[in-house]
């Protein structure tokens, strides 16, 4: 399975990822202390949404903030750029980019998306892309990405094509086949309609599954797609093989505050050096406009840049764990899958994705008797679980199923602070609801 | 300063602004509030990066911790209302009609992107023509100029730069130059589509007569007016209805004690400006700028949430924010006059054209002859005298306007700020440092480079 390969096959920049030998790993007590600011009454099963940040990183962030507040002019002239460059260098090694110029730090994946789509929009406006050329995205692309494509592409005259995906999913082959089919079909419609940009998730949000990006990027190259943008909002710290050379995309973005222990909020966007004809800019234009995306992004007006400056401290944190970030990912995956299986067995349901297509999150079918009939029901159930059972977990409504079948899935996450009890709490909560005969129809009344 | 025409005196204030004082903040408490500032630095550059008192930082940390404790709950149940509370306070402060006219964003630079992106769209779509222009002051903030370069020039728009007379003696001088600029825009049948007017320019710093300039714009059928009031909130009265702009932005972290960083953007609802979007598209796209700005993806929104705490802080001062503004203005003028008399130089503008910052001419003997010289002097003052103050180089060329002292032409200015934490000694140190340079016979180009 994917994770085992990974530990044996690394060939790049390992020094920064692997902890020094003969060290004592962080203890359980220390971990709990690092996350002691989390509400102890809540079974926090939704790391995927807002991530988490350990106390030692928060403390480092505060130091940076105080440094700036102390003497901001001096900080601006003498410390800020150096600190951001340091963070960028670490990220470059982490994701196996070739050059630090390929790494820009931005607030979040939404900002990275705006950057990529803005240049696509200009390409349409300037006639570099023809009206009617298309942008391809996956059916389960993130909601705000779809809106961004509408705002930047459709408006500029581009066409949007969705690759249909099914859920539950059993194999990557289904995704690969559908994707290839869409590209071939578009091509066969006539050479005047080119696919200019493919937007591919590395891990979809809802429902969550790991997408075979490496294979899809290869198909894009075979089919002559101009640009490939991988939206990997969850990927760093969650999925194995976040390797820019291996994946081969033109643009790649991941948040660092979801699974990489950074405070809110910080993300990076990778832009392949060889894509030099593309003019990428941060949408908030400031003094550094025209000096390259990385430099532009390092100053977008007066801001608190402290979240961008703690990446070195985060590396120290993850290296306190056995196996560093790779070890964390592997254990998170094993645990989330184990917990998923425990839950589906307890409820008599099934997982929405196979193990190898789940990273640190897995979709767990909920008992049909709960009667989740629409997205509102899913949200009401989520609220009910939060308010009455102290369980925080996002719920996905799957449309189109048969009556009596599983129509709702919980996306459970596993991060280093989680305990088995968190999942037992969830299991018991659902069991309680089922035995009480509660349905979502009742919740909404 | 009892000039009744002085906009800073304002009109009768609504109750939300008048503090109920038991005792005003003591000097000891004030010292503590800014005890995180580097001691021994004469910090007379509040204009660049602002300042934030301890009690606001504490309030911010509380919000941050609440989020970190249970982020989902915070997102669903707390965030939006917290932002709305802040927006309501801003709305009252600036006399807007409707809280839907108020959005909270990171900074004025973001506002420039918002306004200029939609202007750019109008050029692309053909609504505006190739001859049409955007008018700005030549000393407009660099980020604004770059935003025009990014969003307007590539789609066929052009720029008219209006020279800001400096040193300046009266509003009339500025109005006259602006009118000339507008006329240039109408040559060849072009239209001026957007005027970007600073409320207080950054460098050199001068309070601009925005009401009068906007009147000129309306008379000349300028489509949109965007007032960049980056420095305004907390240093002068902001009444958006009276000012009459279509867009108005001001930072809160410069003079209104917020942490870095947050700004408000006002969009006049009567103008029916559609197609105004935050450049980072997220779930709320299409739901109006306030909603879009309240969620631009995962961020730390705590600076946007502390506005109620800021009101509590300013209301601990005699006269609240009004009192603070008045005292800052009086002190910065007093210190400016003290310095110009000690150096035998001039003020860059009369006191009524200043708010909480003022430009003071540097002795010509120091020979600030370039931007590089200005930077060297700034660096020298920071490193050798622990004084933080920005230095401005003003090229000669206006003949009558060129200021002189007994030794030659004045080409360098310092921009001093006064905020509640400043003391007279800060300015005495600057006075002495410059006098020392003169006595040592040093000139800027001889000073070490950073």
Write out the H or E segment, with its range, that includes residue B110.
helix B108-124
On whether residue B194 sits in a domain, the answer given is: yes
Q: Say whether both B146 and B267 belong to one domain.
A: yes
Domain match, B258 and B335 both: no
Residue of B52, B68, B106 lying closest to A53 (CB–CB): B68
Q: Assess whether pLDDT exceeds 60 at residue B8.
A: no
Is B20 buried (19+), middle (13-18) or exposed (0-12) by CB count in 10 A?
exposed
Q: Are residues B384 and B441 in the same domain?
A: yes
B155 and B298 together in one domain: yes
Please tell me which of the candidates B142, B261, B298 has its beta carbon nearest to residue A304. Answer: B261
Is A122 part of the contact surface with chain B (CB cutoff 8 Å)? yes
Whether B325 and B358 share a structural domain: yes
Would you call B449 an interface residue with chain A, using a CB distance cutoff of 8 Å?
no
Pair B51, B251: CB distance under 8 Å: no
Domain A63-317: which CATH class? alpha beta
Closest to A167 in 3D by CA, of A443, A437, A358: A358
Q: Are residues B253 and B205 in the same domain?
A: yes
| Candidates A58, A73, A375, partner chain B, best to mutate (most B CBs within 10 A) | A73
- The answer to whether position B56 is within a domain reads no
Nearest CA in chain B to A306: B260
- Whether B57 has its CB under 8 Å from any CB of chain A: the answer is yes
Q: Which A residues in the span 254-273 are in contact with B, Cβ-Cβ below 8 Å?
A: 255, 257-258, 263-265
Portion of chain A with pLDDT greater than 70, in percent: 94
B303 and chain A: CB distance < 8 Å anywhere?
Answer: yes
Residue A130 carries which DSSP code? P
Same domain for B282 and B180: yes
pLDDT of res. A19: 55
- Would you say residue B176 lies in a domain? yes
Mean pLDDT of B348-362: 98
Given a cut of 70, whether residue A91 has pLDDT beyond it is: yes
pLDDT at A22: 59
Distance of CA B340 to CAs A177, A291, A292, B144, Å?
Answer: 77, 39, 43, 31
CATH number of the structural domain spanning residue B181: 3.40.640.10
Looking at residue B400, its pLDDT comes to: 72
Whether B232 and chain A come into contact, CB under 8 Å, resolves to no
Q: What pLDDT is stored for residue B1 in this prediction?
A: 39
CA atoms within 13 A on the CB side of B241: 8
**Last-in-domain residue among B262, B284, B312:** B312
Residue B398 scores a pLDDT above 70: no
pLDDT of residue A315 exceeding 70, the answer is yes
Average pLDDT over residues B431-449: 94
Nearest CB to A287 within list B48, B146, B450:
B146
Q: Give the chain A residue nearest B49 (alpha carbons).
A: A72
> Looking at residue A7, what is its pLDDT?
37
Whether A111 and B296 lie within 8 Å, measured CB to CB: yes
- What pLDDT, on the 0 to 100 scale, is given for residue A359? 95
pLDDT at A295: 93
Is B233 in the same domain as B356? no
Tell whether the model's pLDDT for residue B6 goes beyond 50.
no
pLDDT (mean) for B161-187 = 95
Rounded average pLDDT over A290-317 = 95
Interface of A with B in 371-390 (CB under 8 A): 383, 386
Distance between CA atoms of residues B298 and B43, nearest Å:
34
Same-domain status, B256 and B358: no
Please tell me whether residues B238 and B301 are part of one structural domain: yes
pLDDT(A426) > 90:
yes
The residue out of B283, B312, B341 marking a domain boundary is: B312
Whether residue B424 is found in the same domain as residue B385: yes
Q: Mean pLDDT over residues A127-152, rounded? A: 93
Domain limits for position B146 = 73-312
Measured between beta carbons, the chain B residues lying within 8 angstroms of A231 are none
Q: What is the dihedral of CA A246, A252, A256, A260, to 10 degrees?
A: -20
Chain A residues near residue B37 by CB distance under 8 angstroms:
69-71
Sequence ranges of the domains in chain A? 63-317, 323-442
State whether B226 and B324 are in the same domain: no
Query: Please, what is the average pLDDT of chain B?
Result: 93
Do residues B383 and B350 make contact, with C-beta atoms less than 8 angstroms apart? no
Q: What is the pLDDT of residues A3-33, one digit of tens each?
A: 333 333 344 444 445 555 557 899 999 999 9
Nearest of B136, B267, A115 to residue B275 by alpha carbon: B267
Cβ neighbors of B365 (< 8 A, separation 6 or more) are: B407, B408, B438, B443
In this prediction, residues B89-118 reach a mean pLDDT of: 96
**Residues in chain A closer than 8 A to B57 (CB atoms):** 69
User: If you write DSSP's letter for every residue of A140-178 in order, what string do you get?
Assistant: T--HHHHHHHHHHTGGGT-EEEEEP--SS---HHHHHHH
- Report the residue from B69, B75, B142 with minimal CB separation from A38: B69
Question: What is the average pLDDT across A224-243?
Answer: 93
A323-442 maps to CATH 3.90.700.10: no
Which CATH number belongs to the domain containing residue B387 in this structure?
Answer: 3.90.1150.10
The answer to whether residue B279 sits within a structural domain is: yes
Measured distance CA(A209)–CA(A180) in Å, rounded:
19
Query: Average of pLDDT values for B297-318?
Result: 97
Lowest mean pLDDT among A186-200, A250-264, B125-139, B360-374: A186-200
B66: in domain:
no
Residue B19 covered by a domain? no
In the three-class reduction of DSSP (H, G, I as helix; E, B as strand; rest coil), residue A200 is classed as strand
CA distance B377 to chain A (A): 14
B408-409 and B404-405 beta bridge pairing? antiparallel
pLDDT at A86: 98
Asked whether residue B166 is domain-assigned, the answer is yes
- If pLDDT is split at 50, 70 and 90, which confidence band does A241 have? confident
Which residues in chain B have Cβ-Cβ distances shorter than 8 Å to A147? 281-283, 285-286
Predicted confidence (pLDDT) per residue in A348-405, tens digit:
999 999 999 999 999 999 999 999 999 999 999 999 999 999 999 999 999 887 767 9
Nearest to A392 among B70, B142, B253 (CB): B70
- Per-residue pLDDT reduced to its tens digit, B11-59: 434 444 555 566 899 999 999 999 999 999 999 999 999 999 999 999 9
Tens digits of per-residue pLDDT, A169-220?
999 999 999 999 999 998 888 767 899 999 999 999 999 999 999 999 999 9
Digit-coded pLDDT (tens) for B240-256: 999 999 999 999 999 99
- Rounded to two decimals, the ipTM of the complex is 0.91
Last residue of a domain, one of B253, B281, B312: B312
Q: What is the pLDDT of residues A198-207, one digit of tens each?
A: 999 999 999 9
Tally the domains of chain B. Answer: 2
Chain A residues touching residue B371 (CB < 8 angstroms):
none
Note whether residue B415 is domain-resident. yes
């Amino acid at each position: 399975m994917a994770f085992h390969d990974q530990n044996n096959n690394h060939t790049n920049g390992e020094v920064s990822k692997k902890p020094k030998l003969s060290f004592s790993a962080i203890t359980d007590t220390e971990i709990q202390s690092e996350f002691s600011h989390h509400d102890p009454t809540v079974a926090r099963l939704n790391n995927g949404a807002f991530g988490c940040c350990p106390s030692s990183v928060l403390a480092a962030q505060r130091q940076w903030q105080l440094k700036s507040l102390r003497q901001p002019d001096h900080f601006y002239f003498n410390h800020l750029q150096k600190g951001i460059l340091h963070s960028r260098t670490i990220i470059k090694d982490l994701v196996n980019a070739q050059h630090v110029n390929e790494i820009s730090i931005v607030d979040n994946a939404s900002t990275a998306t705006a950057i990529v789509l803005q240049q696509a929009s200009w390409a349409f406006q300037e006639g570099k892309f023809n009206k009617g050329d298309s942008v391809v995205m996956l059916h389960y692309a993130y909601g705000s990405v779809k809106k961004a494509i509408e705002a930047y592409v459709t408006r500029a005259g581009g066409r949007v094509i969705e690759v249909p995906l099914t859920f539950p999913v059993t194999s990557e082959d289904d995704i690969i086949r559908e994707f290839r089919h869409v590209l071939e079909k578009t091509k066969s419609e006539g050479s005047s309609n080119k696919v200019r940009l493919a937007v591919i998730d590395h891990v979809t949000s809802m429902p969550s599954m790991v997408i075979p990006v490496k294979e899809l990027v290869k198909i894009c190259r075979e089919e002559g797609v101009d640009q490939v943008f991988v939206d990997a909002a969850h990927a760093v710290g969650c999925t194995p093989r976040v390797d820019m050379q291996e994946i081969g995309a033109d643009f790649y973005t991941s948040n660092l505050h979801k699974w990489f222990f950074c405070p809110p909020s910080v993300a990076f966007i990778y832009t392949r050096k060889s894509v030099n004809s593309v003019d990428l800019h941060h949408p908030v234009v400031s003094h550094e406009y025209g000096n390259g995306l990385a430099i532009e992004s390092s100053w977008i007006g007066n801001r608190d840049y402290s979240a961008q400056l703690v990446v070195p401290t985060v590396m120290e944190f993850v290296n306190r764990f056995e196996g560093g970030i790779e070890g964390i990912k592997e254990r998170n995956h094993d645990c989330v899958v184990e917990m998923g299986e425990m839950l589906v067995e307890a409820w008599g349901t099934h997982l929405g994705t196979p193990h190898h297509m789940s990273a640190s999150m897995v979709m767990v079918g909920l008992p049909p008797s709960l009667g989740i009939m629409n997205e509102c029901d899913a949200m009401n159930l989520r609220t009910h679980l939060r308010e009455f059972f102290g369980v925080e977990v996002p719920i996905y409504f799957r449309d189109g199923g048969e009556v009596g079948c599983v129509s709702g899935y919980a996306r459970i996450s596993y991060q280093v602070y989680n305990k088995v009890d968190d999942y037992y709490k969830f299991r018991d909560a659902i069991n309680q609801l089922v035995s009480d005969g509660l349905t979502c129809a009742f919740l909404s009344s | 300063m009892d000039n009744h025409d002085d906009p800073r005196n304002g009109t009768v204030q609504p109750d939300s602004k008048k503090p109920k004082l038991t005792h005003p903040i003591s000097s000891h408490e004030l010292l503590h509030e800014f005890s995180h500032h580097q001691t021994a630095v004469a910090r007379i550059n509040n204009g660049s990066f602002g300042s934030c008192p301890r009690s606001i930082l504490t309030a911010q940390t509380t919000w941050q911790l609440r989020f970190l404790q249970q982020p989902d709950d915070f997102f669903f149940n707390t965030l939006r209302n917290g932002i709305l509370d802040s927006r309501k306070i801003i709305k009252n402060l600036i006399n807007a009609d409707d809280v839907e006219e108020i959005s909270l964003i990171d900074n004025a630079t973001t506002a420039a992107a918002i306004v200029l992106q939609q202007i750019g769209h109008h050029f692309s779509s053909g609504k505006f023509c190739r001859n049409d222009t955007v008018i700005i002051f030549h000393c407009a903030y660099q980020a604004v100029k770059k935003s025009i370069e990014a969003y307007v020039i590539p789609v066929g728009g052009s720029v008219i730069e209006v020279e800001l007379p400096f040193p300046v003696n009266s509003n009339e001088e500025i109005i006259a130059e602006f009118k000339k600029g507008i006329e240039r825009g109408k040559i060849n049948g072009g239209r001026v589509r957007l005027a970007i007017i600073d409320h207080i320019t950054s460098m050199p710093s001068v309070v601009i007569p925005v009401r009068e300039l906007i009147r000129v714009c309306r008379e000349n059928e300028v489509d949109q007016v965007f007032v960049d009031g980056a420095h305004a909130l907390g240093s002068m009265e902001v009444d958006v209805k009276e000012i009459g702009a279509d867009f108005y932005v001001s930072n809160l972290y410069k003079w209104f004690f917020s942490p870095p960083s947050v700004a408000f953007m006002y969009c006049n609802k009567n103008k029916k400006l559609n197609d105004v979007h935050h450049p980072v598209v997220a779930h709320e796209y299409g739901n109006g700028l306030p909603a879009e700005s309240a969620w631009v993806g995962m961020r730390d929104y705590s600076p946007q949430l502390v506005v109620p705490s800021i009101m509590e802080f300013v209301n601990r001062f005699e006269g609240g924010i009004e009192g603070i503004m008045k005292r800052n203005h009086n002190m910065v003028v007093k210190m400016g006059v003290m310095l110009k008399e000690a150096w035998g130089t001039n003020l860059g503008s009369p006191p009524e054209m200043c708010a909480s910052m003022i430009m003071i001419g540097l002795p010509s003997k120091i020979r600030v002859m370039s931007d590089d010289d200005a930077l060297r002097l700034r660096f020298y003052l920071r490193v050798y005298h622990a004084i933080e103050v920005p230095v401005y180089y003003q090229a000669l060329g206006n003949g009558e306007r060129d200021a002189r002292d007994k030794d030659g032409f004045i080409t360098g200015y310092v921009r001093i700020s006064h905020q509640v934490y400043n003391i007279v000694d800060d300015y005495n140190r600057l006075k002495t440092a410059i006098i020392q340079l003169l006595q040592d016979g040093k000139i800027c180009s001889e000073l070490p480079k950073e």
